[in-house]
Amino acid sequence: MELFQELNIEKELQDSFVTVGVFDGVHLGHKYLMKRLIESARKNRKSAGIVTFKNHPATVINPKFQPNFLTNLETKLDLLEATGVDFVAAITFNSALAEFSAKDFLGLLKSELGMKGLVVGPDFQMGKNREAGVDRLSALGEEIGFTLEIIEVQEKSGTQIRSTVVRNLISVGDVKKASTMLGRPYSLQGCVITGMKRGRLLGFPTANLTINQDICIPANGIYATVATVKGSRYPAATSVGTNPTFDGKEQTIETYILDFGEDIYGEKISIEFFDRLRDELSFENVDDLLVQMNVDVSAVRKLVKSGELQ
């Protein structure tokens, strides 16, 4: 069974405290939970591990569900590993796993990972039809043989830090507030593809990105960003939108990287969103568009000079 292979970790780590979840975005609330997980594991001389999912469980339970991830799987796993845990086990949620009761799944974690402790948030639920909340998990802990630790939800400026909250902020373009909850700038990764090349003709050559359809995209507008290309970081102005001045229909993500002239077609780059400069606008003519583009670039340079864009 594939699940057993995905839970296969080094033998010396198979005496563990574990947390389980999607952990989309790996925000500050997740990081606090991981911190407490590691502290409890170290106190009890156990390893600390994360069990997460390669896909979103809701896509299996409800085929009409459309994911809107804050991170792709590769980035999520990198961020989870960076929390300092001893292992991250990424498993595939499929129809067979959807039929597991909470007791069955916890028993699997007990046998395969040597789970001695489970650390979760107060709203955590698991098992077929989400049948087990923290009260049921506590009883199962006594029955199966593991401790249960409930970690309180963290807040930022009076707002609970949750993936849904972060996702909503990004969807309305408030990338600055979203970043305070993530503990880092929100970012997108994609390959540079050939676009309409209008930017080049206007003197502002842009890198057009391909982004997976299941990734959360900021609201249409112009953003102050930082582009990472081949390991180097550059200030940039990024447009998310449909190019209404040219009667565009499809949403595109185009980044003008300041003081940069390399050919990067086909390169994978990362764009970090620091602030939203303005709404997407439709201009009567190209000259008016060029004036605004120069204003946008000047705004990015000011943020670089002030140290807000690094």
- Residue-wise pLDDT tens digits, 84-95: 999 999 999 988
The pLDDT value given to residue 89: 93
Among 64-78, 178-192, 197-211, name the one with the lowest average pLDDT.
Answer: 197-211
Answer for the pair 70, 183: CB distance below 8 angstroms, yes or no.
Answer: no
pLDDT at 267 over 50: yes
The two tokens of residue 84 are 């300092």
Answer for the pair 142, 188: CB distance below 8 angstroms, yes or no.
Answer: no
The pLDDT value given to residue 249: 66
Query: pTM of the entire structure?
Result: 0.91
pLDDT band at 246 (very low <50, low <70, confident <90, very high): low
Domain 180-306, CATH class in plain words: mainly beta
pLDDT band at 213 (very low <50, low <70, confident <90, very high): confident
The pLDDT value given to residue 113: 94
Strand 186-193 vs strand 268-278: parallel, antiparallel, or unpaired? antiparallel
Distance CA 56, CA 71 (A): 12
Higher-scoring residue by pLDDT: 148, 9: 148
The pLDDT value given to residue 82: 96
Which residues does 294 contact at the CB level (< 8 Å), separation at least 6? none
Answer for the pair 162, 29: CB distance below 8 angstroms, yes or no.
Answer: yes
The pLDDT value given to residue 80: 96
pLDDT at 202 over 70: no
The pLDDT value given to residue 281: 85
pLDDT at 4 over 70: no
The pLDDT value given to residue 199: 55
pLDDT at 283 over 50: yes
What mean pLDDT, rounded, does the chain reach?
A: 91
Cβ neighbours around 142 below 10 Å, total: 10
Q: Tell me the average pLDDT across 48-55.
A: 95
CA of residue 239 relative to chain centroid, distance: 20
112-145 per-position pLDDT tens digit: 999 999 999 999 999 898 899 999 999 999 999 9
Of 168, 192, 162, the C-alpha closest to 68 is 168
Percent of the chain with pLDDT over 90: 71
pLDDT at 261 over 90: no
The pLDDT value given to residue 1: 37
Domain ranges of the chain: 2-153, 180-306
Q: Does residue 286 sit in helix, strand or coil?
A: helix
Distance CA 131, CA 167 (A): 26
Among 132-146, 149-163, 200-214, 286-300, name the one with the lowest average pLDDT.
Answer: 200-214
The answer to whether domain 2-153 has CATH 3.40.50.620 is: yes
Burial class for 197, CB neighbours closer than 10 Å (0-12, 13-18, 19+): exposed
